[in-house]
Amino acid sequence: MSSLGNPRKKRQGIDDKLTFQERLAALRNLPAFFRMVWQTSPGLTIANTVLRIAQSAMPLSLLYVGKLIIDQVVHLSKDSTQHSSSYLWQLVALEFGLAILSDALSRVISLLDSLLGDLFGKHTSIKIMEHAAVLDLDQFEDSEFYDKLERARQQTTGRTILLAQVLSQVQDIITIGFLAAGLVLFNPWLILLLLLAVIPAFLNESHFNDLTYKLAWGQTSDRRELDYIRFLGASDETAKEVKVFDLSNFLINRFRVISDKFYTDKKNLEVRHSVWGTLFAVIGSAGYYSAYVIIILQTVNGRLSLGDLTFLAGSFRQLRTTFQGILIRFSSVTQGAMYLRDMFDYFEIKPKMVTPLHPRPFPKPIQHGFTFEGVGFKYINSEKWAIRHLSFTLNAGEKLALVGENGAGKTTLVKLLARLYEPVEGRILLDGFDLKEYDLIELRTQVGVIFQDYQRYQMTVSQNIAVGNIAQSENRALIDDAAHQSLAYPLIEKLPMGYEQMLGRRFNQGVELSGGEWQKIALARAYMKDAQLLILDEPTSALDARAEYNVFLRFADLTKDKTAVLISHRFSTVRMANRILVLEKGQLIEIGSHEELLQRRGRYAELFELQAAGYK
Ligand SMILES: Nc1ncnc2c1ncn2[C@@H]1O[C@H](COP(=O)(O)OP(=O)(O)OP(=O)(O)O)[C@@H](O)[C@H]1O
């Protein structure tokens, strides 16, 4: 899908070099990032910034007071006639106060970083879920989309570090400003030596950060597979099959192969990183000691005081560490900013199915029905038409059954009807107007669908039913009514905690249900809203024959004035419909009532007799 195409993929070719420009360009993501941080908590963001500015003045102040103390000590020790040392003690007290303040500031800053980080993680996780909710179903069927989603998810935790890094960066730049000003006043040449000491290390760090980013980027798909295998290997949902098919070794081996590759790639990179890092650290130290020698010589020559010596040596040392920190952090900040791009890429994926600016009011009640006009559809990841040349009308109030062999296109047809997908060819009309002209949300409230692969939510019974109309999740009377209608009530009644019973094994005191029991609960969802069109896609396949018969009798009764579509492989059920539509390889081959189709002696009659013979 073109909207998911990622230009960065190209970078994985032979020319893997990430240019400095690309790095800088990635910094353009930071303002948007800070907007998100700000939205997370304006108060914490302001407090953090103010405290960091205060903290950045600390190193210079401490060094300077230190210099004054030493000069005063030297002065007092030389001049024995002067006995008043109160100035000295004031200075010591000042340094003590500054040291305490600096410690306290660091603690509060890291506390704020951590709080802001947690809130940011929460904020982004919610945004990611909110965004996922507006995307189209077919976007979820694209593996590239999953890679993006995965990278975006990683940002929610990883980016909290970025936040602290960027803030520290700003703080350190201000610190450098203070320290450099002090240094320049004494000897500007020292700054040159400083640059010489730190720049090679910076280039080295940049290079390795690029490689790390590229490695992680290229591993996204594999990482998803690892997560999936981890889930398959240790989850309540899969444990049964893993045991009966004895899959654990197969899964573990697959896990081992992928994670071994991860480990080897990472190790090779880390070892190289560490070797080069050590070499550049040596160069850095050489720069520092050259500067130190210059300062010592000037002090010995009497051009600098002892206090100046400690101040300058301290400033230089501090500048070197801060500078190096900034430069090293620069590459991880830019790297982080590139990861941010992934998150924003995900947020930029736009749904194609949107409600028009001026939607048509949904007909209440539906007058004519839904008309398929030459509808064709193929899935995003498939070349094959799942449905083609489909033309028929689902009349208002009609009960239509869909029949066809596996893969004939029945589920696809109902997904199109519920506008989960848009036809690739032709159109679907509701009372004469394209479905696209109606409000998507209103359509969803007017169409109730229970799919064959409905979700078994590991939640309470009442929540499992309420998902059919979550706005009414507190409406116990409605939930109770729905349970009675779907014939789930007798089973709920027997559960130890009734409607409050937790279902599934994942959470405390959960009770597992049989397949048929789950289906009855899921069926109740269909009765939670007063939809005009009800679609049941094989919702009774796990029910025994009698239960299915009862469910459909009840269904026909309850949907008397509604339009309904049902898919079933059981002809005893299918024959209850007003009309039956027979699909084969995505094409409509027959449509008519049970009797008409039997008389026609076509495919329906053949399938019907086949099943009847099976029961004899
Ligand atoms: N998400 C998907 N991506 C790609 N192809 C799909 C997808 N879902 C279904 N198909 C394909 O579309 C065709 C029609 O599938 P559909 O699920 O509509 O069949 P069905 O008649 O409901 O089958 P069944 O009776 O087995 O449920 C099949 O060939 C299937 O492989």
pLDDT at 240 over 80: no
User: How high is the pLDDT of residue 580?
Assistant: 92
Residue-wise pLDDT tens digits, 105-131: 999 998 998 888 888 888 888 888 888
Ligand 1 midpoint to CA 411 (Å):
7
Lowest mean pLDDT among 71-80, 357-366, 488-497, 552-561: 552-561
Ligand 1 midpoint to CA 481 (Å):
33
> What contacts 218, CB < 8 A, 6 or more positions away?
12
Overall average pLDDT of the 245-253 stretch: 84
Q: Which atom of ligand 1 is nearest to the CA of 141?
A: 1
| Site of tokens 């789930």 | 488
Pocket test for ligand 1, best of 143, 379, 603 (most atoms within 8 A of CB): 379
Pairwise CA distance, residues 184 & 186, whole Å:
5
Pairwise CA distance, residues 402 & 589, whole Å:
11
Task: Report yes or no: 127 and 159 within 8 Å, Cβ to Cβ.
Answer: no
Ligand 1 midpoint to CA 482 (Å):
30
Pairwise CA distance, residues 120 & 16, whole Å:
32
One DSSP character per residue, 50-72 reads HHHHHHHTHHHHHHHHHHHHHHH
Average model confidence (pLDDT) across the chain: 83
**Entry pTM:** 0.70
Task: Delimit the domains of the chain by residue range.
Answer: 26-186, 188-303, 456-530
Q: Which atom of ligand 1 is nearest to the CA of 382?
A: 4
Ligand 1 pocket: which residues have CB below 6 Å? Answer: 141, 379, 381-382, 386, 404, 406-412
User: How high is the pLDDT of residue 519?
Assistant: 84
Ligand 1 midpoint to CA 362 (Å):
29
Nearest-CA residue for ligand 1 atom 28 is 407
Cα dihedral 458, 463, 465, 467, rounded to 10, equals -90
Pairwise CA distance, residues 403 & 352, whole Å:
30
Pocket test for ligand 1, best of 141, 382, 589 (most atoms within 8 A of CB): 382
More confident residue, 613 or 225: 225
List the one residue out of 477, 450, 452 whose CA is nearest residue 531. 450
Pairwise CA distance, residues 173 & 92, whole Å:
28
Residue-wise pLDDT tens digits, 492-545: 989 888 899 888 877 777 888 888 888 888 888 888 888 889 888 886 677 777
List the one residue out of 499, 512, 517, 519 whose CA is nearest residue 450. 519
pLDDT bin (cut points 50, 70, 90) of residue 160 is low
| Site of tokens 């998810």 | 153
Ligand 1 midpoint to CA 57 (Å):
66
Pocket test for ligand 1, best of 384, 411, 415, 420 (most atoms within 8 A of CB): 411
List the one residue out of 155, 212, 157, 158 whose CA is nearest residue 343. 155
pLDDT at 546 over 50: yes
Nearest-CA residue for ligand 1 atom 14 is 409
Ligand 1 midpoint to CA 438 (Å):
26
For residue 132, how many C-alpha atoms fall within 13 Å in the half-sphere facing its CB?
16
First-to-last alpha carbon distance for the chain, in angstroms, is 51
- Here the tokens at position 79 are 């001049």
Ligand 1 midpoint to CA 407 (Å):
5
Pairwise CA distance, residues 344 & 339, whole Å:
9
Ligand 1 midpoint to CA 54 (Å):
63
Residue-wise pLDDT tens digits, 302-360: 888 888 888 888 888 888 788 778 877 777 787 778 778 778 888 888 888 888 888 88
Residue-wise pLDDT tens digits, 9-62: 433 332 344 556 676 777 888 888 888 888 889 999 999 889 988 888 898 899
User: How high is the pLDDT of residue 19?
Assistant: 59
Residues above pLDDT 70, as percent of the chain: 92
Cβ neighbours around 353 below 10 Å, total: 17
Amino acid at 388: R
Cα 589 from chain centroid (whole Å): 43
How is residue 503 annotated by DSSP?
A: B
User: What is the value of ipTM here, to two decimals?
Assistant: 0.95
Q: Which atom of ligand 1 is nearest to the CA of 409?
A: 18
Residue-wise pLDDT tens digits, 390-449: 999 999 989 999 998 888 999 999 999 988 889 999 999 999 999 999 988 888 888 888
- H helix intervals, 135-219: 143-186, 189-218
- Here the tokens at position 19 are 């240019």
| Site of tokens 């975006």 | 152
Helix pair 143-186, 220-233: axis angle to 10 deg: 120
Q: Which atom of ligand 1 is nearest to the CA of 415?
A: 18
Pairwise CA distance, residues 146 & 5, whole Å:
13
Pairwise CA distance, residues 483 & 490, whole Å:
9
SS3 call for 351:
coil
Ligand 1 midpoint to CA 61 (Å):
71
User: How high is the pLDDT of residue 81?
Assistant: 65
Residues above pLDDT 90, as percent of the chain: 20
**What is the 3-class SS of 395-406, one letter each residue?**
ECCCEEEEEECC
User: How high is the pLDDT of residue 86?
Assistant: 83
User: How high is the pLDDT of residue 198?
Assistant: 76
532 sits in the region (left: phi over 0; alpha: psi -120 to 50; else beta) called alpha
